[in-house]
Structure 1
Amino acid sequence: MTTTAPAPLDISALLADGTHLIGGEWVPARTKSTIDVVNPATGAVLARVPRGTAEDIDDAVRAAEEALPAWRDTSPARRGELLYRWAELVREHDTAINELEAVEVGHPVGPSPIAARLTYLAGKADKILGHTLPTRSPDVLGMTLREPFGVVGAIIPWNAPGPMTVFNTAPAMAAGNTVVLKPAEDAPLTALYLARLALEAGIPPGVLNVVTGYGAEAGAALPSHPGIRKMSFTGSPATGSAVMTACARNLIPLQLELGGKSPQIVLPDADLTKAVPAIVRSIVMNSGQVCAAGSRLLVASSLHDQVVETLAERFRAVRVGLWHQQVDMGPLINARQEKRVLDYLAIGREEGAEVVVGGTKLTEVPYDSGYFVEPTLFDRVRPEMRIAQEEIFGPVLSVLTYEDEEEAVAIANGTRYGLTASIWTQDVSRAVRLARRVEAGQVAVNTVGDGGPTGSIGTPFGGYKNSGFGRSMGPDAVEDWTQVKAVIIDAGS
């Protein structure tokens, strides 16, 4: 493991301290108050960002309203060109973006999907299609148009600020909307830097605005603003419900992604040499702070002992360290999240689950200044236990056993969530059957998620049940930010 830190990232060269982006200008909060952005591995202050309030949100909405007519009427092909230029700049500055996100979130520096996904979305801008409609007379023409909503808002979480920024702004912008983005106060720097690159790409001032601040202040003000015509939110079910209530008051549509408790079903014929490493990566990636993390492992009883033994070896080999080191996992984002995970570890023990590996906070050097918790493997977990029902958002994997396919499906579907699922089998017919029966917005077979860099392109992402509604990243991602207008023209005399 590398122990010598590289030259520190010069954040001041990337961003102006204490400012956010409104109408193409980097400005402080109206109150001049700031929030410290802290490195979760060391506790050091990385930068300060504005503590925006409803006043700053109002400024941003007004700037977006001013920019809307020209952006809406810009040729879709031109909008696509500008988004593509943004993708090129993201690719050119890939190292800085990855390091910035790693240092503010705490995960190891690694490859990012941002540029590739942004390129995909840029290509959709001039492919928004309406329809011609059958008519009762040859003198009448019927058609549909897809038009932008107008000024839209997005609130994103701290666990993946780079991808979340792109997924929640680029589709809306490609469709001709202007956007106000509120990133999480714990990790707003990557979003601000991506917005800077958007300006440099030639995207006009006011098309993308980023207001930083606390959720109860700037965040709550965004869906409540009468100028917002559609919202997207990614985060907890409790906050999502509050955002939905605010949207309901103003009668505006909403896209929600609210987390998950994703099952990974290991069938008796599974290739464990492929499955086990992927299962471990799924739960330790970003320290388990991933909504799609495969946190429930459903194992056929005949394989239980073998799988647990192999998992334990893998868990003990997980390398934990700082963002610049060659490790598998970093810290949790903050003290609040650390306490949440440690509380769930205690709950699991109290409920009778067995800790096979991990289960404690790491306190020795170099972990003593950060929020590090061991990757933890629980066995003997029952479906009704809280650690099998509630989203922990940490590096905690629960092993449950089943006797037959019916029981596996019942356990998999037996939570309020339905975001993602994985099925591990070499039997194609069983894979198809289970994929249809599992209640999840995305089901992977012999892989996790969309398969990563070698997987499918443009895979829709979103959930069933309390995991939310609406889809991002897919072929309909841009159209979802449009509304349909019917036009009927009577050309008869």
Structure 2
Amino acid sequence: MTMTHDAPRALDSDLVVDGAQLIGGDWVPAASGETIDVINPATRDVLARIPRSGSDDVEHAVQAAEEALPAWRDLDATSRGRLLFRWADLIEQRADEIDEIERREVGRPSWGPLGVPGQIRFIAGQADKVQGVSLPTYSPEHLGFTLREPYGVVGGIIPWNAPGPMFAVEVGAAIAAGNTMVMKPAEDAPLTPLALAKLALEAGIPAGVINVVTGYGHEAGAAIPAHPRIRRMGFTGSPQTGSLIMEACAKNLTPLHLELGGKSPQVVFGDADLDAAVPAMAMGITLNTGQICAAGSRVVVLRSIHDELVDRLAAQMETITYGPWHQQVNMGPLINEKQHRRVLDYIGVGRDAGADLVTGGAVPTGAGLEDGFFVQPTLFDKVDPDMRIAREEIFGPVLSVIPVDDEEEAVRVANGTDYGLVASVWTRDVGTAVRMSRRLEAGQVGINSPLGAGVIGGPFGGYKNSGFGRTMGADSVLDWTQVKTVSMRDAVAVGR
């Protein structure tokens, strides 16, 4: 039984400019005049329209970013940081409104206080900490040092699952370093990035520093990494699209970072605290309806504790409530019809492969659910590591349990996919925790933590097919700079 808040209101916010994108400080339509409907995935109601942009719009945005670059690049770093702090303040003042916009377009329930202001403040504090180093020389007449300089006009593409935080992290670090940016959010969830960009203008960040171009990935999205005057790229999304982005960047020798998918293992040892582990694992696969790259989608468990864990996981997942964004529930719908079909198809694949369907696996019914892209939280047991549901990213609330005999097999299974984003270990033994922290092939390892979270400023990124490069850490602004070596010789000494 779900508890509902007040009935949902119409989306009525001055932060959403219907049918417009932000280029050079102006809210403009696509050059083609075409638009795309942004829908609420819980009801299929149209929330707003966005421009369906293409290469002409990206060219316009690049030109705007080029015009803004000299003044922004040359502004002292402390002033840039001060403007980012002001941006964070404005977001915090309208946090509930921004959170509601994102909840509607993504379909998720409330997660509590908005984290975006804190993310931007963390980045803002790095703006004037970008430093070069002095270099040793062969003689006292020489002086050597390095400078950290922005790349120039840079590009970014983010997905739909957490558009607000991803926009803040990517754009914030890039502009704090002195770059100007052309960003394309996902067509399914572009409204939160556009709202954040509007507040950036209000905070005093100059026109053209942040440009947000909307549209489909194969049109507007493809045009950004292919543009010869984009000097660096950031991309978050699937490995398949990441390969295409990298290929486009290679043609112009454009450096980039990629944050791609995950198939994160949660390794459970016989001494694990199941009172803590079970709720965390259920939350880890149902948060945002499993549409999180770091979701712990594989439970690798020693047989000594396997049966108890499966029973408790099934009971926990059967308590998960779901419904539209305005209800007090644990889980909302999937983002769109394509993703809905994809998740249901994978559930069918798991059944056909012989995995044990313990709970879930169907489309729920009931008042308020009939028009949305809902699916039940799903638990498979006795999953073979070679099954597709154990190897491929489903991006939905589907959890696979893989029993193993000992630590060696647990390591082989945990590392036995193409991904390496996040891994978790559940154990009370410090020695086991230390060994597993070193042996797991993942960019983040959490000990008794479902997502490797709980720290401030932890660098985030992947091993293997989960990508390369790091965001969110103390070096996030540095990553948007390039290094110049300067060598000087005393002119008086030269003339001697």
Shared fold, TM over 0.5? yes
Conserved? CA contact 2:269–2:426, under 8 Å: yes
State the partner residue of 1:135. 137
Conserved? CA contact 1:459–1:473, under 8 Å: yes
**Is 2:486 the partner of 1:487?**
yes
Give 5+ residue unaligned stretches, structure 1. none
Distance 1:301 1:74 in 2: 60
Shift of 1:90: 1.2
State the partner residue of 1:460. 459
Correspondence for 1:184 among 183, 186, 190? 186
Distance 2:433 2:118 in 1: 29
State the partner residue of 1:105. 106
Cα deviation 1:298-337 (Å, max 9, x = unaligned): 1110001100000011011001111111100000000000
**Is 2:359 the partner of 1:360?**
no
Distance verdict in 2 for CA 1:82–1:261, change over 3 Å: same
Cα deviation 1:335-378 (Å, max 9, x = unaligned): 00000000000000000001111001124321110100000000
Distance 2:450 2:337 in 1: 29
In percent, how many aligned pairs have the same letter? 60
Task: Give the letter for the 2:433 counterpart.
Answer: A
Distance 1:333 1:95 in 2: 21
Distance 2:242 2:5 in 1: 41
Q: How does 1:54-65 map to 2 (within 5 A)?
A: 54-65=55-66
Distance 1:246 1:11 in 2: 39
Shift of 1:171: 0.5
Distance verdict in 2 for CA 1:348–1:241, change over 3 Å: same
Moved more, 183-192 or 85-94: 85-94
State the partner residue of 1:308. 310
State the partner residue of 1:26. 27
Give 5+ residue unaligned stretches, structure 2. none
State the partner residue of 1:6. 7
Q: CA RMSD in A?
A: 0.9
Distance verdict in 2 for CA 1:319–1:201, change over 3 Å: same
Distance 1:9 1:482 in 2: 42
Distance 2:199 2:158 in 1: 19
When the two structures are aligned, how many residues end up with a matched partner? Answer: 490
Distance 1:357 1:280 in 2: 12
State the partner residue of 2:323. 321
Distance verdict in 2 for CA 1:152–1:488, change over 3 Å: same
Cα deviation 1:187-232 (Å, max 9, x = unaligned): 0000000000110110000000000000010000000011100001
Conserved? CA contact 2:44–2:372, under 8 Å: yes
Moved more, 428-437 or 358-367: 358-367
State the partner residue of 1:84. 85
Shift of 1:7: 4.6
Q: How does 1:205-354 map to 2 (within 5 A)?
A: 205-354=207-356
Correspondence for 2:148 among 146, 149, 152? 146
State the partner residue of 2:473. 474
Distance 1:61 1:417 in 2: 34
Conserved? CA contact 1:296–1:388, under 8 Å: yes
**How does the TM-score come out when normalised to structure 2?**
0.98
Conserved? CA contact 1:11–1:47, under 8 Å: no
Shift of 1:456: 1.1
Distance 2:269 2:158 in 1: 36
Conserved? CA contact 1:450–1:459, under 8 Å: no
Task: Give the letter for the 2:423 counterpart.
Answer: A
Q: How does 1:343-422 map to 2 (within 5 A)?
A: 343-422=345-424
Shift of 1:12: 4.5
Distance 2:443 2:309 in 1: 27
Shift of 1:11: 3.4
